[in-house]
Amino acid sequence: MCLTIPKKVISINGGVVIVENPNGDRQEMKTIVELKPGDFCLTQQNVVIDKMDKSDAQDLIKEIRRIKEKEEIL
Amino acid sequence: MIINKGALEKLVILNTSCRVFGEKKADNTRYLIDVVKRMENSQETLDYAELVRNLPQKSFTYKALEVFARMRGWEKIHSGIIHSFFSEQEHVDFTLDQIAAQELRKRNPKFADKFLFSHLLVPVTLYRDGEEFRASYVNGKVHVAINGLLPHPWLKGDIPKKGVALIHFATIVEIGISNQTRRLFKDRQAKSKEFMEAAGAIKEIDYRSFWNVHEWTKDFWKCLF
């Protein structure tokens, strides 16, 4: 049960959602929840399964950056 | 969605062996340990949504397990669902997301391969020599020698000198695995191109040296059990 990586919704076109990882990589997803650009979300098998509060997502992103900056993972 | 005690017990064992998840969500794990201890038999069930709502720390990861079960048409999370969730492509994707977010592949590709391999629940031939445990994971042409393993405090039964087991990171999660179950796990994992490439590149992993997993796990268990 690892840390969930929050992704930011960049655009929505029909049923296709473009999301961005904290490192800037973008992916195409389908969604089962209503979204708008700027929302943060949780994805699974190329499907958006849930929205996240912006503050929760930002906390998680901070945590991921902290791990990276502290070189906790070499 | 409901979960039975057997599955919840496995979930706790897997949570308390993950070097990434463990310490960051330790209050949730403490809570789940307490819940497991209060349940009377392995078939007793709990409402999963309520269990997740009552967790002391916010966590989105548990939602992923629920969605995984629903996608397979299950209304009850049992041990088999936990086995699948931690051993299939789903978990590979989950881990690859972390590798990408932390740019691990760019910074240290060898570490990234071991990071991916460690995250999957894998079937191994386990060898015991006194208090020392080592194992080998063989799947087709892939062969990984694993050292520095530890039996989980909740592991049931005596560990034989040689047998089939499931491991996750440095933790021996389950012993007495049948050859049929081992085959099932291997077949699932053989379907994951990313996992097989990573495992194929590793050859050897010693959890005493890799990311201090062995020591971290022992210390973490001292705080929990």
How far, in Å, CA of A41 to CA of A54, rounded? 9
**A2–B93: do the CB atoms touch at under 8 Å?**
no
Q: Give, as one character, the DSSP assignment of residue B25.
A: G
CA A30 to chain centre: 13
Please provide the size of chain B in residues.
225
Chain A residues within an 8 Å CB radius of B61: 1-4
ipTM surpasses 0.90: no
Chain A residues within an 8 Å CB radius of B115: 73
CA B136 to chain centre: 16
To the nearest whole Å, the CA of A13 is away from the closest chain B CA by 23
What are the residue ranges spanned by the domains of chain B? 2-87, 104-212
Q: From the DSSP assignment, how many helices (H) and strands (E) are in chain B?
A: 11, 10
How far, in Å, CA of B60 to CA of B51, rounded? 13
Per DSSP bridges, beta strands B76-77 and B2-4 are parallel
Domains of chain A: 7-69 (2.30.30.140)
Q: What angle do CA A49, A54, A60 make, to 5 degrees?
A: 80
Half-sphere exposure of B27 (CA within 13 A, CB side): 7
**Would you call A2 an interface residue with chain B, using a CB distance cutoff of 8 Å?**
yes
To the nearest whole Å, the CA of B156 is away from the closest chain A CA by 22
**Would you call B93 an interface residue with chain A, using a CB distance cutoff of 8 Å?**
yes
Q: Which CATH class name applies to B104-212? A: mainly beta
**Would you call A23 an interface residue with chain B, using a CB distance cutoff of 8 Å?**
yes
How far, in Å, CA of B168 to CA of B10, rounded? 11
To the nearest whole Å, the CA of A68 is away from the closest chain B CA by 6
Higher pLDDT, B101 or B116: B116
Higher pLDDT, A67 or B173: B173
**Does residue A3 have a pLDDT over 70?**
no
Half-sphere exposure of A10 (CA within 13 A, CB side): 13
Question: What value does the mean pLDDT of chain B take?
Answer: 93
Scanning every residue of chain A, which has its alpha carbon at the shortest distance from the alpha carbon of B58?
A56
User: Concatenated DSSP letters for B157-205?
Assistant: SPPPSEEEEEEETTEEEEE---HHHHHHHHHHHHT-HHHHHHHHHHSEE
**Would you call B67 an interface residue with chain A, using a CB distance cutoff of 8 Å?**
yes
Q: How many CB pairs under 8 A join A and B?
A: 79
Half-sphere exposure of B7 (CA within 13 A, CB side): 24
**Does residue A74 have a pLDDT over 60?**
no
Residues 153-212 of B with CB under 8 A from A: 211
Region of B103 please: left (phi>0), alpha (psi -120 to 50) or beta. left
**Would you call A22 an interface residue with chain B, using a CB distance cutoff of 8 Å?**
yes
**Does residue A1 have a pLDDT over 60?**
no
Burial class (CB in 10 A: 0-12, 13-18, 19+), B74: middle
CA-nearest of B119, B96, B132 to B22 is B119
- Segment B154-186, tens digit of pLDDT: 998 899 999 999 999 999 999 999 999 999 999
Chain B residues within an 8 Å CB radius of A63: 24
